[in-house]
Amino acid sequence: MEIKYVSTICPYCGTGCGVNLVVKDGEVVNSAALQRSVVSRGKLCNRGLNCGVEQYKSRIITPVINGEAADYDKALKELEGLKKYSGNDLAVITSTRLTNEANYCILKLGKEVLNAGIVGTVYSGSAVKGNAKQEDIANAGAALIFGDCMKKLPLTGNNLFNVKDKGGKILFAGQKCYTSVQADEAVFENEDGVLNIPDSFIEVLKNAENPIVVYSANDKYTEDAKKAAESVNAKTAVLYETNNGRGCAEMGFSPVFDAIKENPPKAMLIFAENPELDKDIYEPLIETFNKIEFLAVVACNESSLTDIANVLIPMQLFSEYEGTFTNWEGRVQKVYAAIAAHEGIKTPSEIVADISAGAVKYDDNSAIFADIAKNVPAFSELKYEDASYAEGVFIKEV
Partner 1 sequence: MSAKGDMFYAWTKDAGIKGECGGAVISILKYMLTEKVVDVVLTVRKGVDIYDAQPAFITDPADLDACAGSLHCGTLLLPKLIKKYLDGAKDKKVAITCKGCDAKAMYELGKRNQINMDNVVMIGVNCGGSVSPQVARKMIREKYEVDPDKVFKEEIDKGQFIIEYIDENGEHKEKGIKIDNLEAEGLGRRPNCQRCETKIPRQCDLACGNWGVIGPKAGKATFVEVCSDKGASVLDGAINSGILEVCAPEPKGLEIRGKVENVMIKMGKKAQAKQFAELGEGTDRLNKLMNITSRCIKCYGCIENCPICYCVECSTKKPHLVKPGVTPPDFMFHMIRFAHIADSCINCGQCQELCPMDIPNSLYMHAQQVELEKMFGHKPGYDMELPVLAFAEEADERARLNATGSDMIFENVFGHEE
2/363 with CB nearer partner 1:
2
24/83 with CB nearer partner 1:
24
Distance of closest approach, residue 100 Cβ to partner 1, in angstroms:
21
Nearest to 16 by CA among 338, 330, 384, 381: 330
Enumerate the H helices of 27-114 as residue ranges.
Answer: 46-54, 72-78, 100-108
Distance of closest approach, residue 177 Cβ to partner 1, in angstroms:
9
33/202 with CB nearer partner 1:
33
Distance of closest approach, residue 363 Cβ to partner 1, in angstroms:
25
Nearest to 245 by CA among 99, 379, 135: 99
140/313 with CB nearer partner 1:
140
CA-to-CA distance for 340 and 322, rounded, in angstroms?
11
154/255 with CB nearer partner 1:
154
Cβ neighbours, 10 Å, residue 264: 18
Distance of closest approach, residue 43 Cβ to partner 1, in angstroms:
4
* Residue type at position 6: V
> What is the C-alpha radius of gyration for the chain, rounded to an integer number of angstroms?
21
Report helix, strand or coil for 252.
coil
Side-chain-facing half-sphere of 177: CA atoms under 13 Å: 16
Interface ranges with partner 1 (CB under 8 A):
1-5, 7, 20, 22, 24, 29-30, 32-33, 35-36, 38, 40-46, 49, 151, 154-155, 158, 161, 178, 181-182, 390
1/194 with CB nearer partner 1:
1
Nearest to 327 by CA among 393, 255, 390, 371: 393
72/336 with CB nearer partner 1:
336
Distance of closest approach, residue 158 Cβ to partner 1, in angstroms:
5
Task: Give the E-state strand segments of 34-177 in sequence order.
Answer: 64-65, 68-69, 87-94, 116-121, 142-146, 169-174
